[in-house]
Amino acid sequence: MKSVNKILALLITASILLASQMGLAQEPTNDVLPEELSVAEVDPLLANDVELMPIPLDQIKAFANIFMRIKHNYVQPVSDEKLLEYAVQGMLNGLDPHSVYLKDERFEDLAEDTTGRFGGLGMEVMMEDGFVKVVAPIDDTPAAEAGIQSGDIIIRIDGKTLSGNSLSEATDKMRGEPGTSINLTVLRETEPDPLEFELKRAVVNLSSVRHKSLSDEIGYIRVSQFQLNTAENFRKKVKMLREKDKFGGLIIDLRNNPGGLLNSAVSIADAFVTEGVLVSTRGRSELNSQEFVATANDMIDGKPVIVLINEGSASASEIVAGALQDHDRALILGTESFGKGSVQTVMEVDESQAIKLTTARYYTPSGRSIQAAGIEPDVVVEAREFKKKGASITRIKERDLDGHLENENKPSESTEAPDLEETLARDYQLNEAYNLMKGLIRFRSLPVKVTEDLQAKQ
């Protein structure tokens, strides 16, 4: 971190020195300093810390020239601090959509995001082609409850256009005091006209892991984000579900999960894989090139797993899905994921500012990069809505006949959750996952000879 501070200080010092030498001259002189200046010549101590290429003085001179022209000619005064802050923002924004400058409130927001408590609307956004795009709304937040969807483009906040705003400026406008209202205007691919949403900001306390039993055999865990305690809570939920005597399989729902902490994702994948690489990262430095290897433990002893994903499943969600898919440990069901295959590292500059910089790409166990490609599900199921059938003729069955014989066996009690039918009727993809899981559990319970015969026929 000291090296980063020194580099920033060096560049700023060089710029100011050059600016003072140029003054307000219309054309900078080129005979004051050499064309290139090594780090050691400017700061010998810094050269001992890091290996750097010579500083390109022509570009530094141009920067200093522009800096001075803005400082003295802009329509209203701008402080040196602000100009340098804008310069840093521009450097990072120009790299990729995920490298950003974090200062003051934005720096504090980073800590809030990883711990799961912040004030605002509750959605992950990114900058794409100059527009603020929703990656995914987060469960049980104002954004999700209002109907904001993955892929929505936010074009106005409270009637004011976002054109020309940076991502941090846009998110700052969306955050605010809990209870205050905000109006968003969004473009949606499936709608011909812009949509208007009125939301009320709230203190968002994210419970990133929720669970329930769909039946005595099938457990369900929803992970909405990967935070500091997500993996620990996830493992606790798995232990609770597997305690049922008839437990036979687990559905993990990662839809509209925008990602989060890499270590949390690795820990969750490790809960089901017993050997081999779970994910690897490759960057320019050795520090950013790592392999994460599974430990010899499967929390549910090889029972089937289905993972639900969609276009809002990004980053850490794709790490989990990719690891389980490559190890043939889970069936991936849903639609193609978002495709964010890069790793960001937060580098603190001082107590109030930091940069979040893309430092590596990550790869699934088979060596796939999903950057801008996403995870392809094994079973493609689009999101659909159930519609009740119209009036139809009800066919007569044996039990409808007068004097029919009663069944001598008492009907078995249903092991399904009381609200299961309603839950599945609202969620077509979950319904398909549930039916598929029932088939997988049934297949595993068949006698070995029958199972081998079925496999031989395929």
Q: Who has greater pLDDT, 18 or 228?
A: 228
Give the model confidence (pLDDT) of 182-191 as tens digits: 999 999 999 9
State which H helix or E strand residue 182 sits in. Answer: strand 181-187
Using DSSP bridges, classify how beta strands 249-253 and 153-157 pair: parallel, antiparallel or unpaired. unpaired
Give the model confidence (pLDDT) of 328-368 as tens digits: 999 999 999 999 999 998 888 888 889 999 999 999 999 99
Whether the per-residue pLDDT at 28 is higher than 50: the answer is no
Burial class (CB in 10 A: 0-12, 13-18, 19+), 173: middle
Catalytic residue among 340, 342, 356, 427: 340
Name residue 454's beta-bridge partners: none
Catalytic residue among 326, 337, 356, 427: 326
**326 catalytic, yes or no?**
yes
Alpha-carbon distance of 429 to 423, in angstroms, equals 11
Whether the per-residue pLDDT at 372 is higher than 60: the answer is yes
Regarding pTM above 0.85, the answer is: no
Output DSSP code: residue 351: T
Where residue 407 falls among pLDDT bands split at 50, 70, 90? confident
Give the model confidence (pLDDT) of 286-316 as tens digits: 889 999 999 999 999 999 999 999 999 999 9
**What are the extents of the domains in the chain?**
2-78, 118-205, 209-380
Q: Classify domain 118-205 at the CATH topology level.
A: Pdz3 Domain (2.30.42)
Q: Who has greater pLDDT, 412 or 193?
A: 193
Q: Find how far residue 383's CA is from the centre of its chain.
A: 20
**419 catalytic, yes or no?**
no
Instruction: Note the pLDDT of residue 136.
Output: 83
Give the model confidence (pLDDT) of 88-144 as tens digits: 999 999 999 999 998 876 666 665 555 555 668 988 888 888 889 998 888 888 999
Whether the per-residue pLDDT at 174 is higher than 80: the answer is yes
Whether the per-residue pLDDT at 37 is higher than 50: the answer is no
Q: For the ranges 110-119, 171-180, 225-234, 252-261, which has the lowest average pLDDT?
A: 110-119
Domain 209-380 has CATH 3.30.530.20: no
Burial class (CB in 10 A: 0-12, 13-18, 19+), 162: buried
Closest CA to 310 of 301, 302, 299, 321: 321
Cα 168–173–174 angle (5° rounding)?
100
Q: How much of the chain exceeds pLDDT 70, in percent?
A: 79
Catalytic residue among 15, 168, 264, 315: 315
Beta strands in 59-171 (DSSP E): 100-103, 117-120, 123-128, 131-137, 153-157, 160-161
Alpha-carbon distance of 325 to 308, in angstroms, equals 12
Instruction: Note the pLDDT of residue 24.
Output: 38
Instruction: Note the pLDDT of residue 458.
Output: 55
* Average pLDDT score, the chain: 83
Instruction: Note the pLDDT of residue 406.
Output: 82
